[in-house]
Chains A and B, each alone.
Chain A
Amino acid sequence: MAKLLEIDKVRAGYDAINVLWDISLTAEEGKLTCILGPNGGGKTTLMRAIMGLIPLRQGAIRFGGKDISNVPTWNLVADGLTMIPEGRMIFRDMTVEDNLLIGGFTRRCRANARANLEMAYSTFPRLKERRHQLASSLSGGEAQMLAMGRGLMEEPKLILVDEPSLGLSPLLTDEVMAILEQLKAQGRTIILVEQNTHKALKIADHVYLVRGGKVVLSERKEDVDMDRLHDLYFARDVAANRQDA
C-alpha cells in the first residue's frame, strides 16, 4: 500500500515549550490510522503541525510524496488534506448553514456544495432543525456535529479527525464511527485521534500510541494487545499520580 502521509522526525510546539519530539508516523492510503495516547501527549499538536497551523521546528512531512512542510494550510486543504477539529473550532458568529457551506469553500467542492449540504443534514438531522440559528447557541454536542458535518463538505483525500466523539451521546458516537467507516469504504484515508479506545479500535487498521510527544507504540490493529496498551498508558499515569498513592 502507498504511504499517503509520512511524518519524519518532526519537532514542533508553542512559543517557549516544545511538545513534539522527533515524532515519525505514516498513514497508508485508504486505511484508518488511529492515534491513541494520554491527555496532553501532543496528539492535537501533531495534527496542527501537519496542517501547518503551527510551524515545524525540525523534520519533514510528505503528502503523496510531496514535501508539504512549508505549504500554507489553505493550499493543503485545496490539495485534499483536511482536518476536522474539535467542536470548539466552529464559526460561532455564523449560522449553522453558513458554517456548513463554508466547509465547501475550496474550488473543487463549490459545485457540489448544495448536494453535500443535504448530505450533512441527513447525517445530522439536528443541524437541519437549527440551520438558521447562530452556531454559538448550539449545545456542546451539536457543535461537535457541526464540526463533523462541515468537514464532510470538503471531499478530502486524507482526513485528520480530532476526538470526534468528544461530548457526543453514546448513540451519536456510534453514528460517527459508522460515518468514518463509510468514508474509509469510499477510499478515503483517515487519521483518527480518539480517547474512546474501545470504539476506535473497532474501526482502525493501524494504531499509534503517542505519549510525551513521542511515538511509544506502532502496531497493526490485529497485533494490538490490550493489556500492553493499558500498561503504556499507565506508564505516565503512575508517574503523575504519585501524590495520590
Chain B
Amino acid sequence: MFDLVAQSVFSGLLAGAYYALIALGLALVFGTMRIINLAHGELVLLAGYIAYTAESRFGLDPLAALPAAIIIVALTSVIIYLLLTRIRVDREINSLILTFGIAIMLTNGILMIWSADIRSTTSGWYLDSIIIGDTLFAMNTEILFAVIGVLVVGAVWWWLSKSWYGRALRAVSSNRDAAKLMGIDPRTTEILSFAVAGLLASIAGIALYSGKVIEPSLGHSLTIKAFIITVLAGLGSVPGVLIGAVLIGVAESLTATLWSSALQGLVSMLLFLIVLLVMPSGLFGRTRRRG
C-alpha cells in the first residue's frame, strides 16, 4: 500500500510539473494582459508536430527540434498578438473570439498537414524507465521535463518579478497610460511577452511529444487544462501555476490509485471548485481593497 501511494504521489508530481509547462505560457499572457489565448493549446501542439517532423523526416532528437519549434511557434504567437492589437473595443471579451478562430484554423491546418494519425516519439531514451530507490518508476522524459519545468517556472518568475522588462510588462497590464509615462513602449513589452509565451509553448510541445501521444484535436483540451491551472493559481501568479499544477497532478494520480481513473476528472474539478470557494481569487490571487 505504501509503495502504491508513494508511486502515485511521485507520478502526480511529475504530471504536475508537465502541466505547469503546458499552463505557463497561457498564464503569462493572461496574467499580464488579461487575454485568454484560446489557441495556446494549439501552439503547444504545433511545437509537438514540429518535433515529430524533425524526428521522422530528419532523424533529429525531439529536443534538437526546439530551436525550430521556438522560431515558428513564437512567431505564430507574435502574429496572434499583432492581430489582437487590432481589436479596439472590449479587448478582453473579443480576444476570445479572435483566438478561438485562430485555434480552429490551427487545428484544421494541423489536420491537413499532418493527418489525423496519432504521433509520438520513437527515440528510445525518452521512454526508457528510470527507477529511483527500487520503488519509484518514471520515464526519462518525465524526469527531464519535470526538472526543466521547475527551472522554467523559476526563470519566468524571476523575469516577471525582478527584471526591468518583466516589471514593465506588469506595469503595462496594470495601467497602460501610466506605463507609457514611465518610458515604457507597451507594444514592445507585449510582443516580448507573447514571444516568451511561444517559447514556453514550444518547450511544453516537446515535452508532450516525447512523453505522450499527439493528435490534431488535442489542442482544445490542452488549453482548458492550462486555463484551469492558471485560474487555480490565481491570475498572474507564476509560483501558483506550479503549485496548482502539482495539486491537480497529484489529485488525479491519487484518485486513479485509490479509486478509479474514470473519476480523475471529477475529483480534480471538485478540488478546483473547493479551492476557489475557499480562496475566490485562486491560490495566490490578490484581492483588491474596497472603498
Contact = CB atoms under 8 A, between A and B. Distances in A.
Interface of A: 51-53, 72-74, 77-78, 82-83, 85, 89-94, 98, 101-103, 105-106, 110, 134, 136-137, 150, 154
30 contacts: A72-B180, A73-B181, A74-B184, A77-B180, A77-B181, A82-B181, A83-B181, A89-B175, A89-B177, A89-B178, A90-B175, A91-B170, A91-B171, A91-B174, A91-B179, A92-B175, A93-B173, A93-B286, A94-B167, A94-B170, A98-B161, A98-B170, A102-B167, A102-B184, A105-B164, A105-B183, A106-B182, A134-B286, A150-B182, A154-B183
Contacts of A53: 177, 180-181
Contacts of B180: 51-53, 72-74, 77
B202 to A, nearest CB: 28
Contacts of A91: 170-171, 174-175, 178-179
A109 B217 CA distance: 50
A92 B181 CA distance: 15
Contacts of A105: 164, 167-168, 171, 182-184
Interface in B126-179: 161, 164, 167-168, 170-171, 173-175, 177-179
Given A93-B170, A105-B184, A136 B178 contact: no
Secondary structure class of chain B's binding surface, majority of residues? helix
B288 interface: yes
Interface string B233-274: 000100000000000000000000000000000000000000
Interface of B: 161, 164, 167-168, 170-171, 173-175, 177-185, 236, 286, 288-289
A11 B101 CA distance: 41
Contacts, number: 78
Nearest to B235: A93
A106 B183 contact: yes
A64 to B, nearest CB: 17
Contacts of B289: 134, 136-137
B288 A136 contact: yes
A150 B175 CA distance: 14
Nearest to B167: A102
Contact of A85 (B161, B178, B236, B286): B178
B25 to A, nearest CB: 20
A51 B183 CA distance: 11
Contacts of A106: 182-183
A77 B180 CA distance: 8
Secondary structure class of chain A's binding surface, majority of residues? mixed
Given A105-B168, A105-B183, A154-B182, 18 more contacts: A51-B181, A53-B181, A73-B181, A74-B183, A77-B180, A89-B178, A91-B170, A91-B178, A93-B170, A94-B167, A98-B161, A102-B168, A102-B171, A102-B179, A102-B182, A102-B184, A103-B182, A105-B167
B288 A110 contact: no
A154 B178 CA distance: 13
Contacts of A154: 182-183
A90 B171 CA distance: 9
Contacts of A98: 161, 167, 170
Contacts of B181: 51, 53, 73, 77, 82-83, 85, 89
B174 A92 contact: yes
Contact of B167 (A83, A101, A136, A150): A101
